[in-house]
Amino acid sequence: MMNNIFAGNMTEDELIIAKKSSSHLSKIISDCLEVKEDEKLVIIGDHGYDNRRVSKIISAGYSIAAKDLGIKDVDVVLQEPKRRGEEAEEQVVSSLESLESGSVIILAISNRLGKINHIGKSFRAFVKDNNHRFASMPSLGNVPTENIDTVLNTFDIDYNQVRDNCSRIRSILDDGKELHITNDLGTDLHINIRGKKALSVDGRYNTEGKGGNVPIGEVYTPCRGKFVEGRVVIDLSSRIRDCTQLVKEPITLDIKKGAITSITGGAEARNLEKTLEWAHDNSEFPWGVRRIGELGIGLNPKARIIGSMNIDEKVVGTAHVAIGSNHWFGGTIYSIIHLDQVFSNPMIKVDGELLDLRQAKGFN
């Protein structure tokens, strides 16, 4: 049964897509979050933009999936899309504030949730403090509605297979000390990860106070401060202040002692530079704005580059570096930004040994 919030607010075609999407999204509710029939579930989305209404459709799909799974207490809250620095609407804040401890939250949003004011310094802090658990799908606002199948396909995977591959690569990174990443475009980057622990986006979000993003399929590790040297050439997608840009002319980042010393390329490079200038001028910790904080590896076999960073960073056969903050996953860099930059065909060596990214069957 369709939640009343969508009645008269979606086209017939959008409703058909939402119903179709529910079969893909039910896995997040039943497997990743393990929502019980008597638990409270709140789904937060937004209305999207003209011809980019993926957030609303997926929110509706989650609602249908929850009802089909027998979840009795499901609320859906929609707001207008939010940019960096804007506040979440009151209905979102009050819905979160009224939740009993140990509830479940699903986000499907075009860009950002928005600031949640007095109830938490950040959404993750709010979840932890109240023993909730969550699954989040941000950065949907760049995707045309007609391309929604490309988004939904990322859920149509063998979850155990992807998790096994994530676990394998995470273990190798945990034991590693030095990464050397190269590719044919000129990437030649050394990253010291001695003593750092990698993290896996594997969808195991069934523990109180925890959560993460979906779709699953990424392993990432924080870098050791100033111990990043070399060059990385970004040729696929680049996160800037308010969107993910598809890269037409490769962006070259030169890095010394962990910080970007130059950015060269075309229009996309200039957009990235403007974002870093904005971040420097508006940051409590400007020293962290140009630092490399993360190396990530994509491991979802159904993900494709579409201009939604939450999906782009999970494409098999890609890696990404993140510019800015990493303190929230084991690093020491504080910044107003965390900007992923995705590049193709990485050859990654861990302490001199080539890392096989496609070992598992089906990762062609």
Q: Give per-residue pLDDT as tens, 58-88.
A: 999 999 999 999 999 999 999 999 988 899 9
153 found inside a domain: no
Residues 305, 279, single domain; the answer is yes
Rg (CA), the chain: 20
97 found inside a domain: yes
Across 258-264, average pLDDT: 98
pLDDT surpassing 70 at residue 31: yes
342 found inside a domain: yes
pLDDT surpassing 60 at residue 363: no
Q: Is 352 exposed, middle or buried (0-12, 13-18, 19+ CB in 10 A)?
A: exposed
Residues 239, 182, single domain; the answer is yes
Residues 186, 50, single domain; the answer is no
Helix (H) or strand (E) holding 169: helix 159-175
Please count the other Cβ atoms lying within 10 Å of the Cβ belonging to residue 146.
Answer: 12
SS3 353: strand
Structural domain for 29, as ranges:
4-147
Residues 177, 54, single domain; the answer is no
Phi-psi label, residue 251: left if phi above 0, alpha if psi -120 to 50, beta otherwise: beta
Please count the other Cβ atoms lying within 10 Å of the Cβ belonging to residue 328.
Answer: 14
When the pLDDT of each residue in the chain is averaged and rounded to a whole number, the result is 94
Span 36-56, pLDDT tens digits: 999 999 999 999 999 999 999
Residues 101, 236, single domain; the answer is no
pLDDT of residue 9: 76
Is residue 117 within 8 Å of 89, Cβ to Cβ?
A: no
Residues 164, 117, single domain; the answer is no
Global pTM reads 0.93
8: pLDDT confidence band, cut at 50, 70 and 90? low
Going edge to edge, which strands form the sheet with 228-234?
259-264, 251-256, 228-234, 188-192, 178-182, 347-350, 353-354
Going edge to edge, which strands form the sheet with 237-239?
199-201, 218-222, 292-298, 318-324, 338-344, 237-239, 244-246
222 found inside a domain: yes
Residues 143, 176, single domain; the answer is no
4: pLDDT confidence band, cut at 50, 70 and 90? low
Give the C-alpha separation, 97 to 113, whole Å. Answer: 14
Beta pairing, strands 211-213 & 133-137: parallel
1: pLDDT confidence band, cut at 50, 70 and 90? very low
154 found inside a domain: no
240 found inside a domain: yes
152 found inside a domain: no
At 200, which amino acid appears? S
pLDDT of residue 85: 82
**Last residue in a domain, options 123, 147, 171:** 147
Residues 114, 210, single domain; the answer is no
Across 263-274, average pLDDT: 98
> What is the domain count for the chain?
2
242: pLDDT confidence band, cut at 50, 70 and 90? confident
11: pLDDT confidence band, cut at 50, 70 and 90? confident
Residues 127, 253, single domain; the answer is no
Is residue 128 within 8 Å of 209, Cβ to Cβ?
A: yes
Residues 343, 198, single domain; the answer is yes
Find tokens 């990385």 and name the residue. 232
Span 291-328, pLDDT tens digits: 999 999 999 999 999 999 999 999 999 999 999 999 99
Is residue 281 within 8 Å of 305, Cβ to Cβ?
A: no
- The β-bridge partners of 212 are 135
290 found inside a domain: yes
**Last residue in a domain, options 147, 180, 200:** 147
Residues 194, 286, single domain; the answer is yes
Residues 57, 129, single domain; the answer is yes
pLDDT surpassing 60 at residue 345: yes
Helix (H) or strand (E) holding 43: strand 40-46
pLDDT of residue 362: 47
pLDDT of residue 3: 58
Looking up residue 136, the CATH number of its domain turns out to be 3.40.50
**Last residue in a domain, options 95, 114, 147:** 147
